[in-house]
């Protein structure tokens, strides 16, 4: 017999959601992608304004100029794509919804995973199974746990068909080593699963970390669909757009056709200004590349400083390697948190959001154990409180020395220092040598 609520189960049948307080539902109140915290480029705003007067609708799946730009984007990253193998949609969530509908069957995801993945399958009435991740990274399932999950689901009458993973992960900010990624995808393909590779954050790798990123589409091109939400590295959240690259096979072409049918039926069509903005950024003119590079460098420095503050405050976190966030485990601070009434992820979310004055979504939002004291902290709010401050953070050669950045980072250290009983706030800027840079995630997963 299958679990009574399989959408909330992992491979051992353990619940992953737990009770959700009234008014704090997992979808409407779930966290969005971490925002850049930076002003919109004038050139991008000009493109949007210049196309706002177009009266005609864009075709489902995206206009030819956008699809050609997406093809070139992937071509430059070693992934050839013909026009028929690329589709665009107004955001990653509608595109993943269409993919899940087209593929059918049960869905497997790593634990934790981006908050926007699972609602798509639940909306379709599909069963979702969370699979533990390896000790060294998030974003991909442990291959042995994946095989065991597939075996158990099939033994219970299930039909696993889809594995969603990420090569630069939200929420853990990690990048799976190529050999770990290969083993996970090989296990999935061997079991007949189709793989959707969420590569939203692949262009936000932190410089200077010697991180190597591969797409599973380079390893198993006939079995992987690549999905990129452009509001990760390229567009502001006000311009939602995403693209998918399908396998260069007949089966991949048929899958693309089914996805296009679903997008058409649901009216998931890009507005003309958004389509023009997406085509513009995917063509990667010099100003876009320069902004993306500068933003990645800035968020990397702030994330590293926040990571040092977290470790110095007695909490745990894997070193961030991509994106605009880090995933923090406060289990070592459980006793002082319990004394303040914080006993689970929802309590921790409420406590830190109020204490820091910035969103601190709990791990339960990402499919993690609700009893675990984990949160995702974003770097965007640490860049400043005004457009002027955030602009100064972007252009400064030493952003951590700016008073507003130092003050905001100090708040993170102070909050943890108070819990730990520290005599004063931690200075993340001057504590760079405190502890090995690659340590800090020793909690049992």
User: What pLDDT score was predicted for residue 24?
Assistant: 60
CB distance 131 to 11 below 8 Å: yes
Mean pLDDT of 208-221: 92
Whether the per-residue pLDDT at 255 is higher than 60: the answer is: yes
The answer to which of 15-24, 196-205, 334-343 has the lowest mean pLDDT is 15-24
CB distance 160 to 106 below 8 Å: yes
Burial of 388 from C-beta contacts in 10 A (0-12 / 13-18 / 19+): exposed
Q: CA-CA distance, 133 to 113, in Å (whole number)?
A: 10
Q: When comparing pLDDT for 134 and 438, which is higher?
A: 134
pLDDT confidence tier of residue 30, bands split at 50, 70 and 90: confident
User: What pLDDT score was predicted for residue 83?
Assistant: 72
User: What pLDDT score was predicted for residue 208?
Assistant: 84
Mean pLDDT of 175-195: 97
Kind plus residue range of the DSSP H or E element containing 9: strand 9-10
Q: Is the pTM of this model over 0.85?
A: yes
Mean pLDDT of 417-423: 71
Mean pLDDT of 381-406: 95
Whether the per-residue pLDDT at 440 is higher than 80: the answer is: no
User: What pLDDT score was predicted for residue 439?
Assistant: 40
Helix (H, G, I), strand (E, B) or coil at 249: coil
pLDDT confidence tier of residue 81, bands split at 50, 70 and 90: confident
The answer to which of 124-138, 311-325, 422-436 has the lowest mean pLDDT is 422-436
Mean pLDDT of 20-49: 80
Q: When comparing pLDDT for 81 and 174, which is higher?
A: 174
Whether the per-residue pLDDT at 290 is higher than 50: the answer is: yes
Whether the per-residue pLDDT at 432 is higher than 60: the answer is: no
Whether the per-residue pLDDT at 428 is higher than 60: the answer is: no
Whether the per-residue pLDDT at 238 is higher than 80: the answer is: yes
Whether the per-residue pLDDT at 381 is higher than 80: the answer is: yes
Q: CA-CA distance, 85 to 70, in Å (whole number)?
A: 10
Whether the per-residue pLDDT at 425 is higher than 80: the answer is: no
Kindly provide the b/e burial profile for residues 134-171, where b requires at least 16 CB atoms within 10 angstroms of the residue's own CB: beebbbbbbbebbbebbebbeeeebebbbbbbbbbbbb
Q: CA-CA distance, 171 to 139, in Å (whole number)?
A: 8
Report the chain's mean pLDDT, rounded to a whole number.
Answer: 89
The answer to which of 9-13, 150-154, 253-257, 291-295 has the lowest mean pLDDT is 9-13
Each residue's pLDDT tens digit, 295-335: 999 999 999 999 999 999 999 999 999 999 999 999 999 99
Mean pLDDT of 112-125: 94
User: What pLDDT score was predicted for residue 73?
Assistant: 96
Of the chain, the percentage scoring pLDDT greater than 70 comes to: 88
Whether the per-residue pLDDT at 222 is higher than 60: the answer is: yes
Whether the per-residue pLDDT at 72 is higher than 50: the answer is: yes
Q: CA-CA distance, 445 to 442, in Å (whole number)?
A: 9
């Amino acid at each position: 017999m299958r679990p009574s609520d399989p959408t909330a189960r992992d491979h051992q049948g353990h619940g992953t959601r737990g009770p959700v307080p009234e008014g704090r539902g997992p979808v409407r109140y779930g966290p969005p992608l971490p925002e850049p915290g930076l002003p919109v480029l004038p050139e991008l705003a000009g493109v949007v304004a210049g196309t706002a007067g177009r009266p005609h609708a864009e075709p489902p799946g995206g206009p030819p100029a956008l699809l050609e730009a997406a093809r070139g984007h992937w071509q430059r990253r070693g992934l050839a794509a013909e026009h028929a193998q690329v589709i665009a949609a107004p955001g990653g969530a509608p595109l993943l919804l269409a993919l899940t509908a087209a593929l059918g069957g049960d869905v497997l995801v790593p634990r934790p995973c981006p908050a926007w993945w699972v609602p798509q399958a639940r909306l379709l009435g599909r069963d979702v199974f969370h699979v533990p991740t390896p000790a060294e990274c998030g974003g991909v399932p442990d291959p042995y746990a994946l095989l065991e999950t597939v075996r158990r689901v099939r033994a219970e009458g299930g039909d696993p068909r889809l594995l969603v993973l990420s090569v630069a992960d939200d929420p853990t900010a990690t990048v799976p080593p190529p050999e770990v990624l290969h083993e996970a995808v090989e296990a999935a393909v061997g079991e007949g699963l189709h793989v959707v590779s969420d590569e939203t954050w692949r262009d936000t790798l932190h410089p200077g970390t010697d991180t190597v990123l591969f797409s599973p589409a380079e390893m198993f091109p006939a079995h992987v669909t690549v999905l990129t939400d452009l509001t990760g590295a390229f567009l502001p959240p006000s311009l939602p757009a995403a693209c998918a690259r399908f396998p260069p096979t007949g089966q991949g072409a048929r899958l693309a056709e089914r996805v296009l049918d679903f997008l058409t039926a649901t009216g998931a069509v890009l507005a003309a200004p958004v389509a023009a903005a997406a085509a513009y950024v995917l063509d990667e003119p010099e100003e876009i590349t320069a902004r993306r590079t500068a933003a990645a460098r800035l968020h990397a420095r702030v994330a590293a400083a926040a990571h040092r503050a977290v470790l110095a405050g007695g909490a745990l976190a894997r070193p961030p390697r991509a994106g605009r966030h880090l995933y923090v485990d406060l289990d070592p601070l459980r006793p002082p948190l319990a004394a303040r009434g914080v006993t689970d992820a929802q309590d921790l979310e409420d406590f830190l959001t109020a204490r820091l004055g910035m969103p601190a979504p709990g791990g339960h939002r990402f499919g993690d154990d609700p009893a675990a004291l984990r949160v995702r902290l974003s770097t965007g709010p640490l860049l400043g409180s005004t457009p002027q401050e955030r602009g100064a953070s972007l252009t400064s050669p030493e952003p951590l020395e700016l008073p507003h950045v130092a003050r905001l980072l100090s708040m993170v250290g102070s909050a943890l220092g108070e819990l730990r009983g520290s005599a004063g706030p931690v200075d993340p800027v001057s504590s760079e040598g405190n502890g090995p840079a690659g340590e800090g995630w020793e909690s049992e997963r």
